[in-house]
Structures are given as structure tokens and as C-alpha cells.
A and B are shown apart, each in its own frame.
Chain A
Amino acid sequence: MTFRHKHLLGIEPLHPEEIGTVLDLADRYAEMNRRENKHGDALAGMTQVNMFFENSTRTQSSFELAGKRLGADVMSMSMQTSSVKKGETLIDTAVTLNAMHPDLLVVRHPHSGAVDLLSEKVNCAVLNAGDGRHEHPTQALLDALTIRRAKGRLHRLNIAICGDIAHSRVARSNILLLHKMENRVRLVGPPTLMPAGVADWGVEIYHDMREGLADCDVVMMLRLQRERMDGGFIPSEREYFHRFGLDAEKLGYARPDAIVMHPGPMNRGVEIDGLIADDLTRSVIREQVEMGVAVRMAAMDLLARNLRAGRAAAPVLA
């Protein structure tokens, strides 16, 4: 078993074998989470601090639950209302927190690269819970676990990622991970929601859902942010749903056993038809949420092991 990193800042630095390590361990935690006694002790005695500089309910509570189930003391700080408003810089906040000796720091920030910057200034393990439009590694890992459990493998699959690719860190992390595991990735969406230079990413690009979904094993829908709906990037919500919203007719072009995924929260009737989202024969959206907790437990467990090993190798006075 290998996992060599001090932090989980993105999918980009991970080796395929390390991705496998996280998923294998997460599988075990997924089983544990279904038992009545959900308690482990992998993080016993450790302090986990969640710093969310951007609103989040799902990811934050998922990390919270993951930490608590493994026995950590968990504190969540909503940075929107804290000292950041008083002008404290990100680094000062990090240094202040660091003085409280956390072991795990979970950070979400609206600026790409902010979590990397913060990780250089603290001596605990840092987990990126989403930075700007850069990466959201635990989301990609939970998606991977969900796919692996549903399809029985995580390679040689045709996977379509649909919607607002340009502004999505979920898409970036997923593309990186799925490529590392040797899958074919297609991006489907209007050109206004495609990032610049996307043609060089080694993906196939479609501006038509029917063509893009043809023979796909996995259909991954992305959330369209409200503020992008009016005129700026797409003409209107209804035209978007008509052309790019996932409904039964468009899904009909994918493989009959294709699964449907969504990182949530969903805009029913915008990017996805409610009927599809609720169709348990196709949709694995609820399983994604479940795997989220398991994957975060696994990631924090592995980082905690490395943290302990590092401390044993170089004991710190104080």
C-alpha cells in the first residue's frame, strides 16, 4: 500500500497506485459506515479544523462526519464571517490556526492556488476541499469510487462530463483522475462553458448532447451556477435545458447500463430532469454522497499515518 503525500492538494500529483490505495481503504470505510457502530480510531486524539472561505453545506458536513467517525476533534469555521472580513490575510489566518496545533486542515477557498499557498505555511496535513476553479480532489475520488463500485472497474470506460466545464474544479480533478486511470473522457457543453485551450487536454469535445453521450458508460452532470444562467454564458435556462439538460431522451443515446452522476446540489429542470435524478436504476447521485464520507475518511486516515510517521522520524520539541 502506498500513499506518499503530506497533503492532499489535488489529483495532479497522485500516482494511479495511490488513487487505488485511497479507494481500497474507502471501500472498507464504506462498509463500516453501513454498520451500526460507525466508530474507528484512526484519528483518535487528533484535531481537525475545517476552514471554508466559501459557502458549503455538503462538503463541509461530509468532512465533519468523516473526522468524527474516526475519532478526531472537529472544529468547523465559517471564514466568511470571521477575521477575514476584518482584513486578516490568508497567511496570517493560517499562522494563527497553526499555533493551535491542528493535525488536519480542510480548506475551501474561492481562489485557485490558495490552498497550496496555505499548505506552505502550516505544519499539519492540508486537504483541499476546493480551490477556485483549480481542483477538488476528494470529489474526484468519491466519483471514482462510485464508478468503480457501480461498473466493477475504473479503466477503459467512456465517460462524458457535461455542462459548465469552464468554471468547474470538479471537472478538472475528474479529468485528471480519469485520465490517470486510463479512461476516455468526453466533455459536452456549449462552447461558452468550455475552458480555453481545452483542445489540448486530451479529451474529446462535443457541443451536442446526443453525439456526446453516444455509447457512454458514465454520464457526469455538472451544476450550472445561477449567476451564469442569464445571457452571459447561455441565452436562457430553458434553452440550456432543451439543448444540454439530461432527460430520458438524451440519456437514451448512452449505453443502456450507463450510470448518471451529479456532484450536487442539483438544479432540477436546468441541467438534469428530476425523473432521471430520482431513477435509482440509473442515478448514483445518493451513492456519491455516501462515498463522499468514506473517501474523506480514507484520505484523512492516510494523511494522518504519514503525519505520524513523519513525526516519529523527526520529533519536534514543544
Chain B
Amino acid sequence: MTQTAPPRPTLLHNARLIDPETGHDGPGAVLIEGGTIAACLPGPLPEGEFGGAERVDCRGACLAPGIVDIGVKVGEPGERHKESFRSAGLAAAAGGVTTMVTRADTRPAIDTPEVLSFALRRAAEVSPVRIAPMAALTKGREGREMTEIGFLRDAGAVAFSDGDQVVADTKVLSRALSYARSLGALVMGHVQEPVLSRGAAATSGKFSSLYGIPAVSPMAERMGLERDLALVEMTRAAYHVDQITTRAALPALLRAREAGLDVTAGISIHHLTLNEFDIAGYRTFFKVKPPLRAEEDRAAMVEALAAGHIDVIGSMHTPQDEESKRLPFEAAASGAVGLETLLPASLRLYHAGHIGLPRLFAALSLNPARRLGLEGGRLSQGAPADLVLFDPDAPYVLDRETLQSKSKNTPFDGQRMQGRVLGTFVNGIRVFSR
């Protein structure tokens, strides 16, 4: 659905341009032609030019590169009742996400080029936004044998990850990392000490103890990270931490960077905007993996993001049906949908004065695209015309029933949000407008 070329050049003018590459946040316009950005024009528009272009007045709304969301779970194959490529694609378009970097933790796992091609074919048929698929690092995500990393890469896999399933066998992981390194493939890790975190549904501390919820120390994240970084130092592989969420783990990340290792890190928007107290009343929509952290950790992560230590913000979109959430907390499924709330929730950080919009869009669009070797995420000439137009201030109360996702498990239901997507462009085509 992303192939059709637009009929004639389009000029998006009277916009507030947010350019994460140059740091520009101010008036400007963007000229789209043939699915790519023909010109990015900060400042006042020269009189009388671009006469042949169709003009779209942005009325001062923000125009930024479309979001590249790393870690989206689509239920195909296997759990289409939770989310299909169609519903996920519509949700993404409504949320300003122009590329969904999909996870491999499907049923069956995306661990062969055949399953990967199936997913890509389905996506091409029904999704209005782009798909950049990840593939499993080990067969069946079982942590025993590596997948056909070479074939999968040829078939289009942009990164390799077993999702939240930690490869517990260090030998298997070290071999997979060195094999991936020889192909220049990016490996994404979920950092948790698997034994310590077994059965945990919350972060350990006064709160989870009083609630009687099995919990894990935040130290388990540091242990997982330290192990993986030691292996990265050994193998020199390219490595991305899917979510870093604790103060305890940060120093290891900074050390690895200083040592020149090819390491980047992401975080889910939930860990930047919610904390462990949100699970009060055993609210299972707030059960995510890793569990929500202490407020001190959340604040430290926001700081690390603003300082550029954390590169990527993602939604970790994880659709779950009502049945798997309407259970006692420890028995309920983990995960939250996030494609449509990623931008408005991220804008909380902007409104609170923690981060400017260009920097925010570096984390949402530019950095993830760069890390995966994708062309999007930029406003520069020649980049694909994947754009999001949004009003950063529009207030509303989120009603989960209005979400495009098949699953409605959002932690932001009934919450006040500020910032709304007005339009989404993929390959120069407007795929969403409000």
C-alpha cells in the first residue's frame, strides 16, 4: 500500500518545522515530489515560487519526520485477533508512526526467511505505513541455535532479537553476536538477568511488597546489560538495548560508549511517563516488561534521554486482548498498546520542559532510522516523504475505545493528553488526517 506515487508536487507550507538533524524548530515549508522530500525550506517562503505545486496550509502546526517505532508487535502470524497488519497500520498512521519496526515474537516466531516474507507480503497488502521487520536471533526464540541471519537479512530483516526472551545461554549469544558481526547485522537485546527476574510482575520495593506482587530487583537489568556488553566487547558486534529503564544500569551503558563499542539504547514511552505506583489497585493495563520502575528511575531516564545517553523512544506496542488482561495481576499478560499514544505521551516530556522538539524527534525518528540503516527519520532533500503533522498543544481525554488497534490495552485510558496528530504522510501520500 505504500508504493503509489503522488500525482504532482505538494508544498506543505505555513508549518512549524521540527528538524532533528539540524535542530531547527521554527517556521518553514516542505516540498514533496515523487514520494521524496524535494526541498526542506526553513524560514519564510520565497514569493511566487513553487507555483505548480499543490499547496497544503499547515496553519502553524508542527511538521516533523515520521516516527520510526522500534519494537512493534503485530499479531501476524498467529494472533491476528489481537492485532493485524491492517489494524496496526491504521493505528500507526493515526499515531504519526510511518515505519513500524516489527518484532519477531509472533506465533510461530519470525525465524525463517519464509515466515519473514509472509509477514512482509501481508504488510504490503494491507498496511498504510512502512514495515521494517526484525527477525528472531535464535530458532523459535528458544535460545539454543542461531537463525539464518544471512538469509533473513537478505529477506529484509533490519535487526535480530528474541524480544523479551533473554538468550540465557551465554555461549549461544556470543556465537550469534560474532556471526551477526561478520554480516554487519544489528542485534537487539532485552536486558534482564533471567533467573532473578523469573515470575516477577513488578519492581521490588516497599510498594510491590505491600501489594504482595512477585517482584524483581532493578539490579537484574544491570546484570543483564553488563553481561551483554561484555559479550559485545568480546565480539565487537553492533548492539542495541531494547529498553534501559533503571539508574543502576546506566553507568554500564556509558562505559561501553566511552570504550567505543557500537552500542545504542532505547526506552519505552511507558517507562518515561509512568512509574511503579501506577499499578496500584492491581491495574493490569500497567503491567509491562520490564515492570514499571520507581519514580527516581523514571526521572533519571528522562534526564538520560535529554542528555542523549538514551537514543531511541519506542512504543513497545504490545496488543493483548481483554481475556489475557482480565486476570489477577501476576497471571495477567504483560504489555501495552502504544502506537497511537507514543507521540502525545512523548509530548508530556516536552510540555514539562524536559526536552525540546528537535531532540524528541531525534529519539522518535532520526536515531532509530539511522541505527537500522533506514532512509527515513529526516527532513532533508532526498529523504522519503514520511512526515507527521501535529498540534503539540491540543488537549483531549483519551478514550481507549477510539483506538484503531484491535486491542485496547492502553495505560492512558481516561487520561488527559496534550498533542494530537493531524496528518501522516508515507511516501508522500497522506495516509491519515484529522
Q: Which residues of A contact B (CB under 8 A)?
A: 89-91, 109, 111-114, 116-117, 131-135, 166, 169, 172, 195-198, 200-201
A116-B329 Cα distance, complex, nearest whole Å: 10
Contact residues in A for B212 (Cβ distance below 8 Å): 112-113, 131-135, 169, 172
A135-B209 Cα distance, complex, nearest whole Å: 11
B328 touches which of A117, A133, A172, A198 (Cβ 8 Å): A117
Docked-complex contact B208 and A89, CB < 8 angstroms: no
Contact residues in B for A200 (Cβ distance below 8 Å): 205-206
Docked-complex contact B206 and A112, CB < 8 angstroms: no
Q: Which residues of B contact A (CB under 8 A)?
A: 204-213, 215, 217, 281-282, 323, 326-331
Docked-complex contact B282 and A113, CB < 8 angstroms: yes
Docked-complex contact A196 and B211, CB < 8 angstroms: no
* Minimum CB distance partner of B279 in chain A: A113
Docked-complex contact A172 and B327, CB < 8 angstroms: no
A195-B209 Cα distance, complex, nearest whole Å: 6
Given A91-B326, A111-B329, A132-B330, A196 contacting B282 (CB threshold 8 A): no
A166-B212 Cα distance, complex, nearest whole Å: 9
Docked-complex contact B207 and A197, CB < 8 angstroms: yes
A200-B328 Cα distance, complex, nearest whole Å: 26
Q: Binding site of A, secondary structure by majority: helix, strand, loop or mixed? A: mixed
A135-B328 Cα distance, complex, nearest whole Å: 14
* 12 A-B contacts (beta carbon < 8 Å): A91-B326, A113-B212, A113-B282, A132-B213, A132-B328, A134-B212, A196-B215, A197-B205, A197-B208, A197-B209, A198-B206, A201-B209
A89 touches which of B211, B213, B323 (Cβ 8 Å): B323
Docked-complex contact B328 and A109, CB < 8 angstroms: yes
Contact residues in B for A109 (Cβ distance below 8 Å): 328
A166-B211 Cα distance, complex, nearest whole Å: 12
Task: Give the distance to chain B from A119, nearest Cβ to Cβ, in Å.
Answer: 11
Task: Give the distance to chain B from A213, nearest Cβ to Cβ, in Å.
Answer: 23
Given A134-B211, A196-B209, A113 contacting B329 (CB threshold 8 A): yes
Docked-complex contact B326 and A116, CB < 8 angstroms: no
A175-B327 Cα distance, complex, nearest whole Å: 27
Docked-complex contact B206 and A201, CB < 8 angstroms: yes
Other contacts beyond A113-B282, A134-B212: 17, CB < 8 A? A89-B326, A90-B328, A109-B328, A111-B328, A111-B329, A111-B331, A113-B212, A116-B281, A132-B328, A166-B209, A172-B210, A196-B204, A196-B208, A197-B204, A197-B207, A201-B206, A201-B210
* Minimum CB distance partner of B326 in chain A: A91
A134-B212 Cα distance, complex, nearest whole Å: 4
A127-B136 Cα distance, complex, nearest whole Å: 47
Contact residues in A for B282 (Cβ distance below 8 Å): 112-113, 116-117
Docked-complex contact A196 and B328, CB < 8 angstroms: no
Docked-complex contact B213 and A196, CB < 8 angstroms: no
A66-B281 Cα distance, complex, nearest whole Å: 29
Task: Give the distance to chain A from B93, nearest Cβ to Cβ, in Å.
Answer: 34
Docked-complex contact A111 and B330, CB < 8 angstroms: yes
* Minimum CB distance partner of A110 in chain B: B328
A116-B211 Cα distance, complex, nearest whole Å: 11
Contact residues in B for A116 (Cβ distance below 8 Å): 281-282
Contact residues in A for B213 (Cβ distance below 8 Å): 112-113, 132
